[in-house]
Amino acid sequence: MFIKQAYNAKTEWWRYFIGIILVFLAWQLFGALPLMAAIFLETGPEILTLTQEEMLNVLESNLAFFLLLLSFAVGLAALFFVIRYLHNQKIKDATTSRKKVDWGRVFFGFSIIAVFTVVTTLIDYNLRPEDFLWNFQAVPFLILAAIALIMVPLQTSFEEYLFRGYLMQGLGVLAGNKWVPLIVTSVIFGSLHLWNPEVEKLGYIIMVYYIGTGLLLGIMTLMDEGMELALGFHAGNNLVGALLITADWTAFETNSVLKDVSEPSAGLDILLPVLIVYPVFLFLMAKTYRWNNWKDKLFGRVTRPETLKYSEEI
């Protein structure tokens, strides 16, 4: 099982405590230094008075996008270092229970959300054209595409390896079950979006969407015994979203094809994905990969193997 593979590594609680601190410092401190330095060069000491949204608006859109995602890339490198050298675990074992990473699953997860996002955006655009502006400019868009194709998968992979990999396995081993890591990682994942401008604009109800998305990705990981579907799904959601549509009140304001100029509202647009669309995604994945034994895979116990071994190579 995916969580049980952590027993092949060093799983003492203090290693996870130190690991989280190291990753957080790399991500939020060292990884953010280039972004803060660039903003400081533009604003000087005034940087201390700016909100997060105002800071990002100081810089050219593509530069701000790149530097913001750079912090996640630094966090991912630190996380891989912690997994490999603090826990002596193979990166493959933090990714999947299969003998090797199934890239077909990554592509399937990517495709299912990418197609859904493109189709629903086109439908929305045709039904409510007054709510959108044609935002496409060739050169800025091509620069954005180059940045996004490289940096967005690093950003989403960092979040997946942190929550659905490192913490899912660590909490599963420490708690001895699967439901605790599923719930805890989903709530923490959603809570980290509290500082997104969407929360200020739409209110705390949007946390239903963020925590619900965490649950979706966690269920994918536990049912499929690996992170491949979640890795692809998360990357597809953020990459297509960054390239296709932007708005003044979103976390990523990009040189995308379209700009949503409608007045956002918190209601069915938030609840429908979680209550209807996400279960449909899970149904399609369950049929494709023949998932079964849902109760045990989501709520069963995680038992310590009789024999343990530490991974010797990455």
Dump pLDDT digits (tens) for 64-82.
Answer: 999 999 999 999 999 999 9
Q: Do 129 and 195 meet the contact criterion of CB atoms below 8 Å apart? A: no
Give the mean pLDDT of 31-39.
Answer: 92
Whether 135 shows a pLDDT value over 60: the answer reads: yes
Using CA of residue 193, residue 90, residue 228, residue 258, what is the dihedral sign? positive
Output DSSP code: residue 102: -
Whether 42 shows a pLDDT value over 60: the answer reads: yes
Task: List the one residue out of 175, 5, 192 whose CA is nearest residue 95.
Answer: 5
225: left (phi over 0), alpha (psi -120 to 50) or beta: left
Q: Do 94 and 161 meet the contact criterion of CB atoms below 8 Å apart? A: yes
Give the mean pLDDT of 170-186.
Answer: 96
| Lookup: tokens for 188 | 């923490």
Whether 56 shows a pLDDT value over 90: the answer reads: no
Least confident segment among 29-38, 62-71, 213-222, 260-269? 260-269
Give the pLDDT score at 304. Answer: 83
pLDDT one-digit tens code per residue, 237-265: 999 999 999 887 776 778 999 999 887 77
Q: Do 152 and 238 meet the contact criterion of CB atoms below 8 Å apart? A: yes
β pairing state of 245-246 and 258-260: parallel
* Residue type at position 262: S
**Single pTM value for the model:** 0.93
Give the pLDDT score at 311. Answer: 44
| Lookup: tokens for 90 | 């193979």
Give the percent of the chain with pLDDT over 90. Answer: 76
